[in-house]
Chains A and B, each alone.
Chain A
Amino acid sequence: MVQTHHCEDHETVGENKEKRPKFFINDHVDILIEILKRLDGRSLCVAASVCRLWCTIARNDSLWENLCFRHVSPPPSSVRSVVLALGGYKRLYTGCVRPVRSRLGRMRKASWAGDEVQLSLSLFCVDYYERLGGSNSNGRLVGESSPSSLMFLCKPVNV
């Protein structure tokens, strides 16, 4: 749940007007981070548009790292450098993990959670490779129609 607050209140209501100090979440960034860490992807994106501080925190890749590995045993430390090299956790989550999880949602077994992440990582890597090709466009692939191997994840499930 996103705790709403008003930025204007903070500017107009000075602390010396109140006898008791008012609790304001932005003063306690460590607690704020702990809360934001537990959000789902969509809420995290919504939280990023609340104010500049929240935006900065929500952009922090470690929050998205938590999201990716939430239901999975913590991955080995080597994973982080690989993911960062391929584009970061936010991109991994929004591009691969979330669509994979939602697509597999119907027939998911709990034991597959780790494999889902592995599959997402592989797809993420192929996507990075294709983006490499696009940016190096030397006439090999026509730029505007260069296919992305993640496009099949973007389309809705056709039952």
Chain B
Amino acid sequence: MGNSPADFSQLASDAILYNPSDLACWVDSLLTEFAEPPPTCSSDFIVDPVNNQTVVNSAWTAAEPHTPQVHQNITYDEQQSLDNQLTVVTAMEEDSGIRLVHMLMTCAECVQSGDLSLATSLIDDMQGLLTHVNTVCGIGKVAGHFIDALSRRIFQGMGGGSVNGGSAFENEILYHHFYEACPYLKFAHFTANQAILEAFDGHDCVHVVDFNLMHGLQWPALIQALALRPGGPPLLRLTGIGPPSPDGRDSLREIGLRLAELARSVNVRFAFRGVAASRLEDVKPWMLQVNPKEAVAVNSIMQLHRLLGCEQTRDSPIDTVLSWIRGLNPKIMTVVEQEANHNQPGFLDRFTEALYYYSTMFDSLEACRIQPEKALAEIYIQREIGNVVSCEGSARVERHEPLAKWRRRLSGAGFRALRLGSNAFKQASMLLTLFSAEGYSVEENEGCLSLGWHSSPLIAASAWQAVPAWDNHMSSS
């Protein structure tokens, strides 16, 4: 957003070009629409910026005070008028974008205080304002998703069932496209694999527990790295946890077979076990069948936050799970989580954080040029937004917490941090350079790595190990 040259060129490709000699009429009509109360329209967020060209000559003098005065400089020279057209559009859009953000915040405040009638009218106003903003990119697109989520919260109550109700198959497809479109998941996988590889050094029997197998995209690289490690590959066991497949098809087993075929090609002894569970807290340690002689790695890519409930009771799911993880005595636990504060009790605070976080994420996604990966990745993010904003209670699973909070929580549960090391940092930096956008950055923060867009961290990776003397400490205090 803003007047950078990149935005101009973007607008040049997306803007609908009108006859330059009619520019004065077009500007008139635009300002007229802006001055009058806009008609309510459906929440379809792919809308043309300007729909009609009603010609009203005298309206622009009565426009609102903050309407830009650029139209006084319009000439009929084609190039000049094109530039001015773009200038008018960006100024208007920036203006509309700022108004949208203010209205979103006001609406969220109304929702928090319970003033639903005002909130509803704000939703209508915002949807009207969306027609004046470019919803293909920038603030318009993100705002559209947040408006949808807010209206779902207001009108459908806090269940928001449809947001989280995508089938497992759908979720996997969206996840896969999110993996392709931007580097966050690749960063997570490669960093975690590097840490696991280093932790497994010198062990001949290793066991990886993956809290969310999906298509198993993380594991080929680890299998290949183990195949090539000096001293030869170990016996690798992988236990993949995932949701049960509804139609009797064993999707976990299919992924396991694929990974096994890969492992066989590169001569790594491999065994797979699938654990089907719809919630992570339903998994019991005996299901994992961990052998005491093997080195265990627990891998959680954006799964631990789902265990956080709103109540901070003693036996909340997160504590249960963390304690049985400790019981496995893993050599390493890799934790990758969104670097965001989306689990605050106050709705307005959560909303503000989410607006900032997902705007940044959508910004970074703009650089992606491959379709349909980009579109499906956006739907993936849109579902997260919907869950954060419109769900409550047990339906809200996207309870992101920042790294500092996770550090406190994990330290309190008997884990100590392992530094990720310079190899992981180097690999992450190289990986980022391969992605075509220039805005990504990797930062190291007390042994943890975080990936961000223009120095706003969006995802953080850390590694942990169980503190061996913990039980003694607990029993003596």
Contacts and interface: CB of A to CB of B under 8 A. Distances in A.
B221 A125 contact: yes
Contacts of A129: 216-217, 220, 258-259, 262
Interface stretch (B144-152, B175-183, B352-360, B405-413): B175-183
Main SS of the interface on chain B? helix
Contact of B180 (A79, A116, A132, A151): A151
B223 A125 contact: yes
Contact of B433 (A81, A82, A85, A103): A103
A82 B430 contact: no
A134 B367 CA distance: 27
Interface in B319-351: none
How many chain B residues sit at the interface, stated as a range, is 35 or more
Interface in A73-126: 76, 78-79, 81-82, 85-86, 99-100, 103-104, 107, 112, 115-116, 118-119, 121-123, 125-126
A92 B65 CA distance: 61
Interface in A42-82: 76, 78-79, 81-82
B436 A158 contact: yes
B180 A149 contact: yes
B254 to A, nearest CB: 7
A149 B177 CA distance: 9
Interface residues of A, number: 43
Given A158-B437, A159-B438, A82 B180 contact: no
B265 interface: yes
Given A125-B221, A133-B258, A147-B177, A152 B370 contact: yes
A130 B372 CA distance: 17
A2 interface: no
B267 interface: yes
Contacts of A81: 266-267
A86 B180 contact: no
Interface string A130-144: 101100101011000
A21 interface: no
Contact of B225 (A76, A122, A155): A122
A145 interface: yes
A140 B254 contact: yes
Interface string B257-288: 01101100111000000000000000000000
Interface string B179-194: 1100000100010010
A157 interface: yes
A88 B434 CA distance: 22
Most buried by A among B223, B373, B430, B436: B430
A14 interface: no
Contacts of A76: 228, 230
Contacts of A153: 434
Interface of A: 76, 78-79, 81-82, 85-86, 99-100, 103-104, 107, 112, 115-116, 118-119, 121-123, 125-126, 128-130, 132-133, 136, 138, 140-141, 145, 147-149, 151-153, 155-159
17 contacts: A78-B228, A79-B228, A85-B266, A103-B434, A115-B430, A122-B224, A125-B221, A126-B221, A129-B262, A133-B258, A136-B258, A145-B372, A147-B176, A147-B179, A151-B180, A151-B370, A158-B437
Interface of B: 169, 173, 176-177, 179-180, 186, 190, 193, 215-217, 220-221, 223-225, 227-228, 230, 232, 251, 254, 258-259, 261-262, 265-267, 367, 369-370, 372-373, 423, 426-427, 430-431, 433-438
